[in-house]
Structures are given as C-alpha cells and as structure tokens.
Amino acid sequence: MTEKTDPIRVLLADDHAIVRAGIRQFLERAGDIQVVAEADDGEMAKVLIQQKQPDVAVLDIQMPKSSGIEVTRWVRANTPGVGVLILTAFDDNPYVLAVLQAGANGYILKTASPADLIKAVRDVNDGKSVLDANVTQKLLSQLSHPKETSLVEALTAREMEVLELVAKGFTNKAIGVQLGISDRTVQGHLAHIFDKLQAGSRTEAVMRAVSLGWISQSVGNITEE
C-alpha cells in the first residue's frame, strides 16, 4: 500500500479570529496538514466546504448564522466525503449527543493539547471516530445513572410545540403566528421550558430535549433572541 503523501486539507470554522489563528498554527506545524480555508460563521463554512472540498472540517458548535450541528447535518447531506471534527469548549452531554447524532466523526474540547488535536484530525481523515477522553467519561457516567433524566419535569403539550418550533429555527414572533398566540405568551412558555430543563438559552434547551429523546435529532439553525 502506497503511503499518502498529499497533505490533509482542513477547513476551520470558528467565529473568533484569534482562536482560528492559534488552531491553524498548531495544525500546520504538523507538516502533513494544510488549512485551505477559514470561516467565521456557519453559512460561510457551508459555502467554503462546497468550494474547497476539504478532507476534514473542524467546526465550533456555537457560530453565527448556522451552528456546528446544522453545518454537520448539511455536510452529511451534501458532501458526505468530508470528515467533521467538532472542536469546542462545550462538554455538556446534550451538545455531544446532538452533534454525534447529526453525523460528526469526532468531538474534541478546546482544552486538548495540540498533539491531541493533530491526532484527532489525522484519525478523522483516516475514517476513525474520535471522542475526547473527558467527554467519554461524562457520557459513560450518564449511562450509568439513567434515572437522573426522570428528575426533569415534563413539558406541557403547548411547551413541546413551542420547543419544537424553536428547534426548527423559528423566532418568537413566527412561533406566535404558527400557534395563534402572542409573542408575550411565547416568551412565557419559553421561561417555563428554560426552568424545567435548567437551560440558559434556546440552544441549550433544545440540546437537552434532544438528549432526553423529547425531540428528534433534526435540529435546525436555532435563533437566539
């Protein structure tokens, strides 16, 4: 078998330029990795992935316009040959599960060492699955205590309707139009949802609902208001 000599072509997507610069420096020092494009939001990431056809797309989860989860689902539907490695500060199980369900090949934290990041890119390029050791430990802990999810208070039927529309990317105004209720009523439902799911944002609420199996993995581009 002939050893591959072409560099691994990588796209970086993160909304912080200084973070991208640091990641790029670490990766290109490896010698066998070339960063061919950078994006500062999810929609630009999609455009550049389509144009550049990188071997691996390294994505943050929370980005403007389209989240890393949305971009991952888009990649799987449109450019399935591109490997997806999530590089993020978030280690919450709902995020991890949602990303993996969306089709990501790997999930690594920004606290990882440069060597671990380089290895993760190489592994994803080789078709392997990668999961940060700290993330793995948290997931295994949850699996060993499945009854913890029963402590979450169930949502009402109307709250579920609101949350499902949030997951599809609808704004409060659009949700109100869909359900025939006022913006203020939508806000009230969201306040109850956040309280029950112990979430601080729309994205976090949706991710927790996904991990609990309350809504499907087909999460859209969530609009934070």
| Structure confidence by residue, pLDDT tens digits, 109-159 | 898 899 999 999 999 998 888 887 776 666 655 554 544 444 567 788 899
**Closest Cα to residue 204, out of 188, 224, 184?**
224
Q: Coil, helix or strand for 64?
A: coil
Tokens of 142: 């949850």
> Residue with structure tokens 């539907």?
77
Contact criterion met (CB below 8 Å) for 120 and 73 = no
Contact criterion met (CB below 8 Å) for 162 and 179 = yes
Q: What is the mean pLDDT of residues 10-38?
A: 94
Helix ranges, the chain (H): 17-28, 42-52, 68-78, 93-102, 114-125, 133-144, 157-167, 172-179, 183-197, 202-211
Q: How far apart are CA 141 and CA 202, in angstroms?
A: 25
**Cβ partners under 8 Å of residue 166, min gap 6:** 175, 190, 202, 205, 206, 222, 223
**pLDDT classification of 186: cutoffs 50, 70, 90:** very high
Q: How far apart are CA 98 and CA 208, in angstroms?
A: 9
Q: Which domains does the chain have, with CATH numbers?
A: 8-143 (3.40.50.2300), 148-211 (1.10.10.10)
**pLDDT classification of 2: cutoffs 50, 70, 90:** very low
**pLDDT classification of 79: cutoffs 50, 70, 90:** very high
Quote the DSSP letter at residue 95: H
CB half-sphere exposure, 160, CA atoms < 13 A: 11
pLDDT at position 37: 95
